[in-house]
Amino acid sequence: MTGPLLSIDDLTVRYPRRRGEPVTALDGVSLTAGHGRTVGLVGESGSGKSTLGKAILGLVPVSGGSITFDGRDITRAGRRERRELSSQIQVVFQDPYGSLNPVKPIGRTLAEPLRVQRTLDARAIRARVLETLERVGLPATTVDRYPAEFSGGQRQRIAIARALVMRPRLIVCDEPVSALDLSLQAQILNLFNELKADLGVAYLFISHDLGVVRYLADDLVVLYRGSVVESGATQSVYDRPRAGYTRRLIAAMPRATQVTPHEKGP
Amino acid sequence: MTAAIGTEPAVGAPSGRPGLARRLLRRPLAAGALLYLVAIVVLAVCAPILAPHGPQESDLAHVLATPSADHWLGTDSLGRDITSRLMYGARPALIGVLVTVVVAAAIAIPIGLAAALAGVADRIVSPLVDLLMSIPAIVVLLMVLATFDQSLVAAMAALGVLTAPGLVRVVRAAALMVAGEPYVAAARVYGFGRFAIALRHVLPRIVGPVLVNLSLVAATALLTETGLNFLGLGVHLPEASWGGMVADASAVMNQQNWMLVPTGAVIACTVIALVLFGDGIRDATAEGWARPVAPARTKRSRDTVKGVRPARRGAGAAPADRPPILLRVDGLTVAFPGADGRPVPVVQDVSFELGAGQTLGIVGESGCGKTMTGRALLGLLPEGARVTGGSILVNGADATAMSRRERAGLRGSTIAFVSQEPMAALDPLFTVGAHIAEAVRTHTGAGRAQARERAVRLLGRVRLPDPDRVAKMYPHQLSGGMAQRVAIALALAGGPKLLIADEPTTALDVTVQAEILRLLGTLRRETGMAILLISHDWGAVSELCERTLVMYAGQVVESGPTATIITAPEHPYSEGLLAANPQLGTPGTALRVMPGGVPSPGEWPPGCHFAARCPYVMDECTAHPIAMAGTAEHAGRCLRVAPSPKIEARP
C-alpha cells in the first residue's frame, strides 16, 4: 500500500485503421495517481484524454507500456480479472442521457454490478443500493423509477451512485459535468469532493474545462496530441505553467473576473 | 417490496406502472388486434368442438348457399360449411406463420446481435446477408415443397430462413446503435462479456423494432401460406385451407361471388391484426421506460403573463450620446400549447433594447428561455410555439406583425444568426465558397463572379488563413473552429445590422473558443453590427458584451452592465450562478450551490420564479408576480432591489 494507487508507464495506444497507418491516440504517456487524490487530465478534443480513461478501464487494447493498479499489472487484464477489478475501478461518463440503460429501472441498474460479483445476497444488495442512493442525495423511491423520469443533474447523480455502489478506490470521470448547467455542475462538483473526503476515493478527472479541474484536482496532467506536455500539483502548474500549450490553455480561459469592456465613453 | 427481494434484488415490479399486458390493452387498436388474434387461435384450436359442421361434411342440398341459420357464412360448391372450413383452415395458416416467425427470429436475432457486437462476425455476416437477400424466395419454396413431399411446415420453415437476412439487418442496425451508448461501456467495466451485454443491455432496447419487423414477417408468411395453398401446394386437398378456399371461390366466381367475401375478409383482417399487434406491442414496451406523460399544465403561470411591465426608459428619453435603437423588444411572451390546449409560456414578458453596434449578452441555464428568445427575434420559433404577447421592433418596424416574406427578408440582411452547431448550417454537397456566394447573391443580387469574389473576401474577413483554398473545401474537411468561422462569414454575407449568436463557442475547444470570441469582437468593431450573445458562460459574455440580461425560468431577472452584474449582482439567481462558477471557487472549499433545478415551463409559480431556490426568500416573494425594480441602467426582478423613485433617472 506504499506505492501509488495507479501508475501508468509509457502507455501507447494505437487504433488500427482499415487502410493505411494506425492512428496513435496515446504516445508514451506516464502518470501516477495517489490514494484518495484527484488527478485532473486536461486537453482538447483529440488529445487522447478519453482514450487514456478507456485504457485504464480495459475498453481499448493497449499497444505498449503498462498500467499498474495498486501494485498489480492490469495492462492486459482478462475478463475474469476485469470483473474482479470492477469493484476497485469504476467510471462516470459525460452524457447523463446515454449512460443509463433507459429500459431498466434505476434499482436494477445499480444492483447489476453487485449481482455480477456474486459476493452479496439479494438483501445486502438492496441495502447497499439504498445506502448509495442516499449518499448521492437521491430518495429511496428512485429504485423503481426509470432514467427518463430524471433530469440531467439527477441522472449524473445516479451514474455516480452506480460507480460508488461497488465501493471502488478509483473512479475514472470522463467529462462528468460538462453537459450540466452551471448550478447543477456546482452541486455535482461538491458531491465529488464530499465523497472523496468521506470515502477516500481517488479520481482520474478527465475534462476540457481548466476551470473545473483547477477547482477539483490535486494534481494536473496536460495532454496534447497524445503526449503529456506538463504535469504537477494543480496550483503550481496553474500559477507557473511551463509548457507553451498549457500557457495557451490558461490564457484562453474566459474569465468572468477579468472584464474587458468595450464600453463607449460618455 | 420485501417479498420481491428474493427474486429481484433492489427492485420489485415498478410501482405505479401498469404491466405490459395492461399497457397493451389500453391501446384500442392493439387491444382489438389482440382480441381478434386470440379469437382466431381459439377457434382454430377448438375447431373440432366449436365448428358447427365437419370440414368435409357436404350438404349437397345447399350448394353455394348464402348465409343462413344452418350455414352462418354459406356453403361452397360441394355444400361444405364455410364457417367450419375457415376454422379448420386457420390451423395450417397459424402453424405456418408460427414456424416462419420462430425460424426467422431464431436465426436473425443471435446472428444480428453477433454481427453488431463482434467485428469478426460482422465481416462474415454482412456479405452473406447481402447474398442471401438476392435469392428468389418462390423458387426455393417450390423446390422445398417438391423435396419434402408438399410439406407446408418445411416450406414455411424455408420461408423463415429466407426472411431472416432482412431481419438480421434490422437487428444489427438497431443493436449497433445501442452498443455505442456509454452504459454499454459501463457494463463492460463491470466485467460483463459480450454475450451478457447482448442479452441484458442490447436485446431489451431493440425489442421494439424487432417486434415490428417480426409482425411484418408474420403478415408476409400468412400471405405466402395462402398463396401456396391457392396454387394447390402445401395442404393436401380436401383438407381445408384459406388459400384453398380462395381458389375454390375463384373457380365459381361467375355463379356465386359471395364465397370470396368471408374468406377474403378473414385473411385481410388477420394480416391487419398482425401488423397492428406488432405496432401496439412496440409502443407498449417503450412506454414501460419512456418518460411518463407530462403532468397537466397548471394555469397559474398564465396569470403572470400580464405581469407588471419592467423598468425601461421612455422612448423619447434616449440621451444624445446613445446610438440609435436598432432592436426594441417589449413584453415579449412566447408560448407552446399545453396539454389542455392553453398556452404555456416559455418566455415571459421579456423587454430590452439594443442600440446599433452594441453588444448584449443573455445568460442563464437551459430551460430559462434564452434560446427561445433568440429564435423569436429571428422569427424561427419551433413548431407549435407562438409569440403570444409583446412586440419586436426592428428599426422601428414591428416584426411580429410582418408577413412571412417580410420576415424572411429581415433575416440575413438585417438580422443574422450563428448557432452552436456550425456544421448544421452547411450542406455537405457544396463547397464553402458556393455556400457563401449563394448567400451573397440572395442578399445583394450580385452576379456569379462578383459573389464568388465577395465570398473569398468574407472568408478573409473571418481571419481564415488562405481564403482561396478554404473556399474550395467541403464542410467535412473543416475543423470545428474553421466551420464556426465559415458560419460567421455566411452570416455576414447579407451585411447584417444585428448578429444573434446562440452559444457559438460551446462545442469548441477552449483555445478555439477564445479565438472565436475575439473574432466576434473584432468584426463588431469593423462592421458596426450589434451582437446578441446567448450563452451559459459568464466568461464568454464578459469577454464580449457591454450589457447583460440574466434570464431565469422565462423571465429577465436582471439587466445591467456586464461588469456591474458580475461584481455586484442584484438578483439572487445571478449571484448564485456566479458563485457556482468553479473558476471563482477556492479549491478545498465547497462551492456555494443553489438547491434543486430550474422549474419547467408550466410549473412556474405565480410569484417569484426563483423563490423555491432562493436563500433570501420572504413571504411576499411567493404572493404576486415580481416587477423589475432599480434603474434603467441596472435593474433586478427582486423585492430586495430598492425601487428607484424615478425609473427614468439616469446619471
Query: Model confidence over A151-176: pLDDT tens digits?
Result: 788 888 899 999 999 889 999 999 88
8 A C-beta contact, residue B580 and residue A182 = yes
Please answer yes or no on whether B593 and A144 come within 8 Å at the CB atom. Answer: no
The 3-state DSSP class for residue B521 equals helix
Q: Which three cell numbers stand for residue B513?
A: 473558443
Q: Which three cell numbers stand for residue B95?
A: 402453424
* Cα(B455)–Cα(B430) distance, integer angstroms: 14
Beta-sheet strand order (sheet of A64-69):
A23-33, A6-15, A64-69, A72-73
Q: Which three cell numbers stand for residue B131?
A: 447474398
Contacts of B513 (CB under 8 A, 6+ apart): A252, A254, B505, B540
Contacts of A72 (CB under 8 A, 6+ apart): none
Q: Taking CB atoms and an 8 Å cut-off, how many pairs form between chains A and B?
A: 239
* Cα(A41)–Cα(A210) distance, integer angstroms: 9
* Model confidence pLDDT, tens digit, residues B393-405: 998 888 888 888 8
8 A C-beta contact, residue B337 and residue B296 = no
Residues of A in contact with B200 (CB under 8 A): 112
Q: Mutating which of B17, B190, B610, B633 best tests the A interface, going by the most A Cβ atoms within 10 A? A: B190
Q: Which of B418, B402, B393, B390 shows the shortest CA–CA distance to B327? A: B393
* Cα(B227)–Cα(B243) distance, integer angstroms: 6
Residues of A in contact with B204 (CB under 8 A): 101, 103-104
Note the pLDDT of residue B315.
Answer: 38
Q: Which of B348, B353, B310 shows the shortest CA–CA distance to B628? A: B310
A61 DSSP 8-state letter: -
Q: Mutating which of B583, B592, B650 best tests the A interface, going by the most A Cβ atoms within 10 A? A: B583
DSSP H or E stretch at residue A11: strand A6-15
Phi-psi map region of A77: left, alpha, beta (phi>0 left; psi -120 to 50 alpha): beta
The residue with greater pLDDT, A18 or A74, is A74
Residues of A in contact with B321 (CB under 8 A): 264, 266
| Total Cβ atoms within 10 A of residue B220 | 20
Q: Which residues of chain B have pLDDT under 70?
A: 1-18, 287-322, 643-651
* Model confidence pLDDT, tens digit, residues B317-342: 444 456 788 999 999 999 988 777 78
Domain with CATH 3.40.50.300 in chain A: 1-88+169-255
Note the pLDDT of residue B138.
Answer: 85
User: What is the CA angle B320-B323-B325, rounded to 5?
Assistant: 110
Q: Tell me the CA distances in angstroms from A68 to A5, A170, A221, B115, B192, one per residue in order.
A: 8, 13, 18, 33, 22
What domains are there in chain B, each with its CATH number?
Answer: 2-54+81-288 (1.10.3720.10), 320-426+478-565 (3.40.50.300)
Residues of A in contact with B594 (CB under 8 A): 183, 186
| Nearest CA distance, B363 vs chain A (angstrom) | 11
* Cα(B113)–Cα(B202) distance, integer angstroms: 8
Residues of B in contact with A90 (CB under 8 A): 189
Beta pairing, strands B530-535 & B359-363:
parallel
* Cα(B497)–Cα(B396) distance, integer angstroms: 14
Note the pLDDT of residue B6.
Answer: 36
C-alpha of B526 from chain center: 40
Which residue among B6, B183, B562 places its CB closest to the CB of A122?
B6
Note the pLDDT of residue B603.
Answer: 86
Residues of B in contact with A215 (CB under 8 A): 582-583, 585-587, 591
Q: Tell me the CA distances in angstroms from A262 to A253, A254, B244, B271, B544, one per residue in order.
A: 19, 16, 87, 70, 8
Q: Which of B12, B17, B594 shows the shortest CA–CA distance to B290? A: B17
Sign of the torsion angle spanned by Cα atoms B186, B187, B191, B195: negative
Please answer yes or no on whether A122 and B5 come within 8 Å at the CB atom. Answer: yes
* Model confidence pLDDT, tens digit, residues A30-81: 999 999 999 999 988 888 999 999 999 998 889 999 999 999 999 988 888 8
* Cα(B295)–Cα(B293) distance, integer angstroms: 6
Q: Does residue A199 have a pLDDT over 60?
A: yes
* Cα(B51)–Cα(B548) distance, integer angstroms: 81
Note the pLDDT of residue B289.
Answer: 67
| Nearest CA distance, B430 vs chain A (angstrom) | 26
Binding-face residues of B in 309-348 toward A, CB within 8 A: 321
Note the pLDDT of residue B214.
Answer: 93
Q: Does residue A258 have a pLDDT over 50?
A: no
Contacts of A32 (CB under 8 A, 6+ apart): A4, A6, A7, A8
* Cα(A62)–Cα(B528) distance, integer angstroms: 54
* Cα(B501)–Cα(B484) distance, integer angstroms: 11
CATH superfamily of A1-88+169-255: P-loop containing nucleotide triphosphate hydrolases (3.40.50.300)
Q: Mutating which of A183, A184, A190, A237 best tests the B interface, going by the most B Cβ atoms within 10 A? A: A183
**B15 in reach of chain A (CB within 8 A):** yes
Q: Tell me the CA distances in angstroms from B182 to A93, A94, B191, B285, B638, one per residue in order.
A: 7, 9, 15, 22, 42
- Which range, of A12-21, A196-205, B325-334, B391-400, averages the lowest pLDDT? A12-21
Beta-sheet strand order (sheet of A227-233):
A89-92, A170-174, A202-207, A38-42, A219-224, A227-233
Residues of B in contact with A248 (CB under 8 A): 511
Note the pLDDT of residue B644.
Answer: 53
